Structure 1
Amino acid sequence: MLKETRGFDFTGYKPTTLTRRIKRRMDALGLAGVEEYRDFLELEGEEFARLFDSLLINVTGFFRDPAAWQALRETVVPEMLAAKDPARPIRVWSAGCATGEEAYTLAIVLAEALGTADFRERVKIYATDLDEDALQQARTGSYTERQVAEVPEDLRESYFERSGQRYAFRRDLRRQVIFGRNDLTHDAPISRVDLLVARNTLMYFNAETQTGVIRRFHFALGDPGYLFLGKAEMLLNHGDRFEPIDLRKRLFRKISNVEVPGLPSKVWDDGARTAAPPSVRLEQAALDAGPVAQLAVDLAGNLAVANTRAELLFNLRPRDIGRPFQDLEVSYRPAELRSVIEQVGKEGRPADLQDVVWHRSAGAEPSVFHVQVVPLFRRPGEAVGVGISFSDVTHYRRLRDELEHSNQELERAYEELQSLNEELETTNEELQSTNEELETTNEELQSTNEELETMNEELQSTNDELQEINDALRIRGEELDSANSFLGSVLRSLGAAAVVVDEELRVKVWNSGAEELWGMRAEEAQGRDLETLDIGLPVREIVPSLRRMLADPERGGAAQTAVDAVNRRGRTIRLRVESVPLRDEPGRPRGVIIIMDHLTSEDG
C-alpha cells in the first residue's frame, strides 16, 4: 500500500523490523488488526507521515562512536588525501544522513585536515536520505545545545555560530554540503566519490537488498575509494569487493577491477559463461562503460544481457538474467515494451519511443527517456534477439521546454513591440509640434542668455573681491595654526605635567608630562571634561578657581595652590598646581593653562 499510494518501497527492509514498527503504530492507535490499520490510513492521510517516521529510524549524532571517527581521521583521510592530486576535487557521500549531523561531522574532519580555504575550494559532500522532513531539518544546519554536546569545545567554537539557544553550522562551509533525496535500493548512486559513509544503514535491509546496495556502493566509489560503515554492519560476504583497513572500526577500501555478477557474454555466444576470450571481455567492458542503459532479450523472450547502468537504473539482480522479460518490471515501466519487442522481432525493423516519462518515486522530478528497440543479428538474415537502449534525455527535454517557453515570450514581446511602434509614430508627430514650440522658446532663451552673461561678469568681479578676502583669512588662519602648534610644542616640551582646557573645561592639550604623571594617553584625555577624568588629581579642589578665572576677566589672574594627589603608580605625592588664563588678542580668556609639578621639601 505504501509503495502504490506514496511511492515508498520497503520490500528490501527486514520483515521483522517492519512488523515491529508497524505494530508499534497500531498499538499507539489501539487497533487490533492490519486491516483496521489499513482502513485508518485511507481515512487519515497524516498517519502516513507518522508511520513513515517510525519506519525510518533517524538516530544519529555528531562524532557518533568517537573511536571510529578518530580512526577515520588518522588512517583513512591522510591516505585518501595523499593519493589525490591537490588540484582535483574531493567527493564524499553520506548515505542515510538523517538530520545531517553525520554530514557536518565529515565537513569538520575534512576542514581540519585540509584547512578551511582548501575545503571550500575542493570538497563536495553529498548527503542523502529517504526522509524529506529529516533532510529539511538538515538543510538548516541548526542544532540544540544538547545535540552538539559531543562536539569537542574547540571544534564547536570554530565551526558553529551560536544564536540564542541554538548552534548553526558555519555558513561559508555549509555551502559545500549538498542535501538531496535518494533511495539506496532503487535510485542510481552518486558516482566517483572518494569516501562513502553509510553508518547503521545497511542493517535495516535484508540480505538480498544489502547485496544490491553494496554493489551500488562499489560502483559509486572511485579508485582508490573508502567505505565507512556502522559498528553493527559487516562485509563478510563481500571480500571480493572491499578489503578491511580497520575491521573493528568498520573501515574498508574498495578492491578495483571486480567483475559485476549478472553480466553474461553476448547472447549470441554459444555455451555456458566460462572464461571468455579477451575480445569478448573487451566488448563486455565497452558495453558496461556505455553512456546509456542497455538490455538484450533473446529469441525465447528471456533477459540475456544487462549492462551496469541498466542494473542500477532498473534494480536488476544477477538472478534476473535468464528470466522471462515479460515477468520483469522493466518490461512495462517506464514504457510498455512487450508488444514493441514482439513487433521488432517479427518485422526486423527498429522502433523508437520518444519522450517516455517515468515517475520513479512520489514527489521526485520525473525522468524522460528516449527508448530504442533494435533487432540483433549474428550475421545478415540470422536474428539472435532484440536490443533495448534507454537514453536519459531529461536535461534535453527541460532545455526544449525552456526554449518553447522562450519562443512564446518572444512572440508576446514582438506583439508588444508592434503596438509600441504605433504609439511611437503618434508620439513622433506630437514631438514635431513640440519642436516648433521649442524653437520659439530657444530665441527667448538667447535673449535671456545675453542678460545672464552681463550678470555673470558682475558676479565674476564680486567673486574676485571675495577671493582676495578669502586669501587674507587663510593667511590669518595659517598664522593662528602656527601659533597654536608652537604653543602645543612648548607645552609638550615642558618637563612638568601641562594641561590646556577651554572655556568648558574640556581638555585641548595633554603633554607627555601629564601622560607620565597620571598614566593616561593624550588621545584618551583630549576632548573630555576635566572633571570626568579618572586620575589621582583632586580636580574638584582646583575647578572653582578655574571657573572664577574664566568668569571674571578683570580679576582672572594666575593662581597657584598645593594639593595632595596619587600618581599612576598609586603613590601619594604633593603637587604645586599653577593656573594661567589663556587669552586672545582682545584679552578675553579662551581657556586655562594648568602646570602641575612635584613639591620638594625645600618648597614646603
Structure 2
Amino acid sequence: MTESQPEDDGEFESVLAYLKESRGFDFTGYKRSSLRRRVQRRMAQAGAENYGDYIDQLQVNADEFVALFNTILINVTGFFRDPEAWDYLREQVIPALLAERSPEEPIRVWSAGCAAGQEAYSLAIAFADAIGVDAFRQRVKIYATDVDEEALAQARHAAYTPAEVEGLPEDKLEQYFELQGSRYWFRKDLRRSVIFGRNDLVQDAPISRIDLLVCRNTLMYFNAETQTKILERFHFTLAQRGLMFLGKAEMLLSHTRIFEPLDLKRRVFRKVAGTPSGYSHFVSPGLPARRSIDMSGLDELREQAFSASPVAQLVVTGDEVVALINQQAEISFALTDRDIGRKLWDLDVSYRPVALRPYVEQARLERRSLRIKDVEWRRAGDTVWYEVHVNPLVSRDKSLLGVSVVFHDVSWARLLLLELEHTNRRLESAYEELQSTNEELETTNEELQSTVEELETTNEELQSTNEELETMNEELQSTNDELQTINDALRDRSVELDELNDFLESVLTSIQAGIVVVDTEMRIKAWNRGAEDLWGVRREEAEGTHLLNLDIGLPLTELRPAVRDALADADFQTELTLSAINRRGRAAVVRLLCSALRSAGGQSQGALLLMEETQP
C-alpha cells in the first residue's frame, strides 16, 4: 500500500477510533507519521487495499488485533540496555537514593513500558547488588507495566533464551538465573518482588509514591501534547525528591523546571518538590516548547479537574466540615452535594469502609500524611480494596487549611498479587515433586548399577543368596502384613480418639456456664468458651497457667480451700456463692460448684469448677 494522502486522514482516524471502542487501546496520542507507517505495513501484510477494508478484517478476524498490536508496539529491550547509563544508575543514583532512606524504609520502583521484562529484572539485579538479596526481598517492590498483554505474559514467565541474556556477565547469570533446558529462568525468590500489570500511560491512573521511575525510550512514540500529559502524571507519581531515568531519545525542554537533571547526558532527573507540574514537560528532540496559554478560569478548571478525578476524594476543613466531594466519591460511597457543609463524623464514610477519625486527627496534629493499607469494602456483592491517603492541607504560613482523604482503588493489584502467589505455589509444588522424582530416579539407578556389578562378580554366591532373600522376603511380607494390620488398628483408634476429642470439645463449647478443669498441681487443663465469656481470658492464655496466678476478678483466696479439698478427697463436692468482678469490670455474684475429678480407679486427679453468674 502506498503512503497515505491527506484525504485519507479521516479514514485513518476511523481505524484508531475503532481500536479504542472495540479493544480499549487509545493510540490517538501516538505520533501520526510512525503510527500510520506501522498500520500500513500491517495492512499490506494482511492484503487490505484501504482503511475501510482493514476495519472489516478486524471485525471478522480477532487474531488480526494481536498482529496489529505487535506491529505498533515494537518491544525493543534487553538487560542493562545502554550500559553506560545503567552503570551510572548503579554506581551513583541507587547509592544516593538508599543514603536518603533508613535501612528499613521500603523502596518503590516503577518500570513504565517494561516490554518483555528485561528492564524490570535489570532493576531487580541492580538493587539486589546494592543492598543484598535478603534486604531486597524485604524492602523493594518493582511495579512493571505495559499495554502489550503478550509482552507482559512473557515477562511474567521470566524465561529467556541465551541470545536474550547475551549481554549479561557470566557471574550475574550464575547468581540471578537458573538454566533449565535451553532457557535461563530468573530467580523465583526475587521474582516475587516484581509485580507485572497492564497500564496505559495515556488513560490509566499512575502508580503513586514511587522512589525511582524508569521509562526508557517510550515517550518518543507519543506526540508532544501526550508526552506533556504523561510527564505531568510522572511528576505526580514520584515521591518527594523521587528520581526519573529516561532513555536517550528523550530530553528536557522546559521553562518551568519541575525536574532537575542529575546527569543530562544519561537522562537521570530528580523531582523538584513544591513546583506545579502543569506547565513543564518533556518532548523528544527537535520539538518546539509549548506556547504560552491564557491562564484565566483556573478556579473552575481546578474544580472540574478535582470533580472528574478517577480517584475518590473528599476534603474537610480544619473544623472537620466536609468542603469538597468529587464525583467518584459520590458514586463509591453514596454521597451527594447535600453532604457538603456537614460534619464528617455525621456521614457513613467516616467509619465505613474504615474509621477515619483517628487518622484525620493525627494528620491534623502531626502535620504529616498517613496511609491506611488493605481497606476492604463490600458493595453490591463485590469486594473493593482501597489504600486510603490522609493528607494535611497546609497554607504557605504553615497554618492548617484542612485535610484531604483519598481512596486509591488497589483491587487490581491485590487480585494480581493473589493470582501470582497462587501460581508461585503451584509452580513450587510442581518443582518440588519433579525434584523428588529426579532424586528417586538417581537413587534407583545407583542401586541398579551396584546390583549389576555384584551379579557379574558373584554369580554363584548370588544364587544361594537369592534363595535366602526369597525366604527373608516371605518373612518380611508376613511381617509387613502384620504391621499393616497393626497400622490399620492404630489408624482406627486414632480416628476414634479424634471423634471423642471433638465430642468432648463440643460438649465443653456447648455448655454456657464456665467450666475449668485443673490438675493436682492446680494448673488449668481445660477452659471452655463459657469461662472465656465470663472472665475475658482466652483459652490459649489460661490453659497451662496456675489457677491462683490468674487475675480474673474471682476471689481465689476463698476458692483455694475448696480446690485443695477436691484434690485430696475423690468424693468431695461443694457449692459456693462468691462476689467477683466480671470481664466488663462490674460487680457480679458467681455461683460456683467445685468437685473432685475422679480417675477410673476412684482417685482424685484434679478438680472440676462449674461457674455461672447469677443475679445478686
Q: TM-score, normalised by structure 2?
A: 0.47
Superposition TM-score, scaled by structure 1 size? 0.48
Larger RCO, structures 1/2 (Cα 8 Å, 6+ apart): 1
Structure showing greater Rg: 1
